[in-house]
Chains A and B, each alone.
Chain A
C-alpha cells in the first residue's frame, strides 16, 4: 500500500509489516503484526491502515483460535491498536468506511476444538464478519451463512460509496454476498451485550441484513467498485475471468475473459476443485478452508468421530508432498487419492465427493503445489557457521560424551532424503493419552520454519518446544545433552531445510 512517499507491506511469513521509504528505497522499520500478516486497507481519511492475518496467533494448545486486526497510525507509522478477533482464524480482506468509524474484516470461525462429526449442524466453520470502529465501540462478529447454506470463505470486501452496502466475495461458494450496512448495524445495536458475543453462531441472523447472493465465476477473490458504485468487478481466480456486476440489478452484467485457453490442465482443473465448497454438505467448506491459500491454517483439529479430544492432529503442509506417501499423521493413507477421496467424503464432506476424474485433477493440483523459497537459506546455498554447527548435530552419531546414539534415534536416519522423511511410522515418545496410537508418520521437514505448530497434534508451539518440552526421555532424537546454544544451532539448521 502506497501513501505519501512511503509504502506499507504486509509480510505473511515474518508476521510483520514493513514501512518502505519510497524516495530512498529502503525499509525504515518493521512493525509487529500477527501471524500471517496478509491484507491491508487504508481508512478513507488516510489516518489508519488496517492489517489482517490469515493465520491465528500462536496460542496455548487446544484453546480457541484468536486473530487480530493490527491498526497502524499512518502519520507516526507505529501500531496503535490491536483489535482482537476471538475464535477467528483465516481473516482475509478488511475495509473501512465512514471516515474509519466503521471497519469490517472477512473471516472464518473454525470449530476445531470439537470433533468434525457434525457437518449437518454447522459445526465445522462459521463464515462471518468482524465489525468494529467508533460506530460500535467494540468488535462484534456477525455471520453471513444461512441455516441450511454456507457461504465460504468470505474473502474480498468492497463498500459502496454511500456506505450503505457491503459486497463480500465467498470464494468456495462462487458468489458475492450483499449486505445492507445500516440494517446490519441496527441489528447489532438492538442486541444486548451478551447477545452480541454470540451473534456469530446464530445462523438465522443473516436474514436481517443479507439482501442478495450474486452468482459469479469460479473462486471469486478480490473485489473493486467503480467510483460511482454502479459496477462491481470480481476477480474469479480459477476461471481467469472478471465478473462485472450491475450493483443495482444485482447480477452479472458481463464477464471479461483474461485469455484462458480452451483446454485446462489437470492442475488448473484441480485448483478449481481445491477452492470449491460445493462438494460438502450444504456447501459448508472445501479444501482451502483448512489449507488456506493452499498452505496450512496453524490449527490442530479433532477430525474424526472417535470421541471428543481423541487423536488431535496438526494441519500439515501441502507443499511438495507428491513423493511423501503415505499420508495422514498415522500414515494410514497410502496415496493422495485415498487421502483426498474416500476419506474426505466419509469424514469431511458428508455428501457427494469427487468423481474419479475430478479426484485425479485435484491430486494433480496438490502434487503441483511447490515449496516456497526458504528465507533462511543463503543465496549462495552455503550454510552459515551456526547452521553448519546445527547440521553437525543433526548428523551426529555420538552424544557429547562419546556414547553412540542408537541408529534409529539419530535425526538423520528418520529425517532423511530430499524431503527429510524416510516415509516410515515410528513412536518417538510424543504420543498423548488421547492418541489411539503413539506411532506417527515421519513428517517431511521442508520449510518447517513456517509450519508451526509442531508435532502430530500441534502441541509444540515452536521448534524449540519439540525438544525443550516434549522430548524428556530422548526418544525423539538425543537432545538432552545439548546446551541451549547448541539446540539453537540445530534449530537454525532445521529452518534451512
Chain B
C-alpha cells in the first residue's frame, strides 16, 4: 500500500474513532447541469426502485441505468417548473406537481390537469400524494383530491375544513391519515375512516418567539409533513423549527437546543416515529432519536473552496466534526428521498446521491 494512502486511512480512522456516537456516513455523488440535470435548482427528488425522479425548475428528470432523461413542456409536461413528485406504487405512474398544473406521466404519456381544464383547485401545485385511487394535491388555493376512477375532484379549503389559510404547501397521505402543511396555517389532518378534519396550530400564535415549547406545533408557517404511520407519529417542518407529535405529546426541535443546523426547514422525511431527516437552508440533518448529524459543504467560502462537513451532536450536546471527503451539492437542501440505505438529496445547486459507506461505520465498532 502506498504510504501516503495508508497515512490518510490512519488519520481518517482516528478521526472516526473519536466520534462519540455512530452516525451514518455517505459518499456523495453530485449531479448538476454539467452531467445531465436540466437545471441546478432541484425542488424535490422521488425514488421509485431503480428509477430516480428529480423535480427541477426546468423539467422532470429521470435517472435510470446511469443516464438522465429529461421531460419538458415539449414532451407534454404541463409546466417547466416541477415542485414535487409522487409515484403510484401500483402502476408506476408519476404525478408531477408544477407551477402550472398537475401532470400525470404514464408510460411516456402526459395527461395534464389545470384549473381551466379540470377541477384542480389552482395551477400552482406545491405537493402531490398518491393514496390508492385518490390523488391529493396541495395548491396555492387549498387542497384537492382527485378520484382517478371517476375523474371527480373535491376541494378542501376554508369553506369545508378548519383551514383559515388556504396556501397549502405540502401533503402526505397514509392509509389512515392525510396531512397538509398549510403555509401560515399549521397542520391539517384528515381521518380517512371518518372523513373528518382536524387542525394543529402553534399555541402561541404566529409569533416567531417560542413561548410554549413542546405544548404544540412549533410554528404556523409549515412547509412539510411526514407521517410515520406504523408508529402513528407526525413530523412537521416549519420555517421556525421542527415538531414531532405522537398523538399525545409534542416535541419541538430548534437550532438552539438540538442538532438542527437551522430553524429554516424545507422538508422533513421520517424513517419512523423516532428517526427523521430534515432539509434545511444550512444543510441536511439527521436525527436518530438521540443524536444529530449534519451533512453539507461548509457555509463559508466559494463553491470551489467549501470543504465537505459532517457535524455530529450527541445527546449531551457535545459536537464533533467528522472528517469527510464529500458533501451534498449545496447546503440549501430542498428535499430528499431514500433508496435502500442510500439517500437522494435535492439542493439549490444540484442533486446529490448519498451512497452509504458501511465499511467505515463497521470499522468503527
Contact = CB atoms under 8 A, between A and B. Distances in A.
Given A29-B91, A30-B149, A81-B108, A386 B117 contact: no
Contacts of A78: 90-92, 107
B157 A32 contact: no
B218 to A, nearest CB: 31
Nearest to A469: B116
Interface string A67-86: 01011000000111110000
A464 interface: yes
A465 B114 CA distance: 10
Interface stretch (B17-25, B29-37, B118-126, B316-324): B118-126
Contact of B107 (A29, A30, A80): A80
A489 B152 CA distance: 10
A488 interface: yes
Contacts of B122: 484
Interface in B146-164: 148-155, 157, 159
Given A78-B92, A79-B106, A464-B118, A485 B159 contact: yes
Contacts of B151: 14
Interface size, B (range): 20 to 34
Interface centre among B91, B111, B150 (most CB of A within 10 A): B91
A79 B94 CA distance: 12
A174 B157 CA distance: 58
A85 to B, nearest CB: 13
A71 B107 CA distance: 9
B92 A465 contact: no
A461 B107 CA distance: 23
A492 interface: yes
B106 to A, nearest CB: 4
B331 interface: no
A68 to B, nearest CB: 7
Interface string A309-339: 0000000000000000000000000000000
Given A29-B90, A29-B91, A484 B121 contact: yes
Contacts of A392: none
B116 A464 contact: yes
Contacts of B117: 461-462, 464-465, 468
- Among B119, B141, B150, the one with the most A-chain Cβ atoms within 10 Å of its Cβ is B119
B109 interface: yes
Interface string B87-110: 000111100000000001011110
B124 to A, nearest CB: 13
Contacts of B109: 32, 68, 82
A488 B148 CA distance: 16
B155 A488 contact: yes
Interface residues of A, number: 29
A495 to B, nearest CB: 8
Contacts of B149: 14, 16, 30
B141 to A, nearest CB: 7
A7 B157 CA distance: 40
B133 interface: yes
B115 interface: yes
Interface string A13-54: 010100000000000111110000000000000000000000
B141 A484 contact: yes
A308 interface: no
A420 interface: no
Contacts of A492: 152
B152 A465 contact: no
Contacts of A359: none
Interface string B186-210: 0000000000000000000000000
Interface in A367-404: 375-376, 386
Interface in B38-73: none
B93 to A, nearest CB: 6
A32 B106 contact: yes
A14 B116 contact: no
B116 A32 contact: no
A491 interface: yes
A484 B91 contact: no
A450 to B, nearest CB: 11
A461 B111 CA distance: 13
A29 B89 CA distance: 10
Contacts of B142: 485
A461 B118 CA distance: 10
A468 B91 CA distance: 31
Contacts of B157: 485
A31 B88 CA distance: 11
B116 A465 contact: yes
Contact of A81 (B107, B133, B148): B107
Contacts of A32: 91, 93, 104, 106-107, 109, 111, 148
B107 A82 contact: yes
A49 to B, nearest CB: 13
Interface of A: 14, 16, 28-32, 68, 70-71, 78-82, 375-376, 386, 461-462, 464-465, 468-469, 484-485, 488, 491-492
18 contacts: A14-B149, A16-B148, A29-B91, A30-B148, A31-B91, A68-B109, A78-B91, A82-B107, A462-B117, A462-B118, A464-B116, A464-B119, A484-B119, A484-B122, A485-B121, A485-B155, A488-B154, A488-B155
Interface of B: 90-93, 104, 106-109, 111, 115-119, 121-122, 133, 141-142, 148-155, 157, 159
Given A32-B111, A70-B107, 4 more contacts: A79-B92, A464-B117, A484-B119, A488-B153
Q: Which 9 A-B pairs have the closest CB atoms?
A: A485-B155, A79-B107, A468-B116, A29-B90, A488-B119, A32-B106, A462-B117, A78-B92, A82-B109
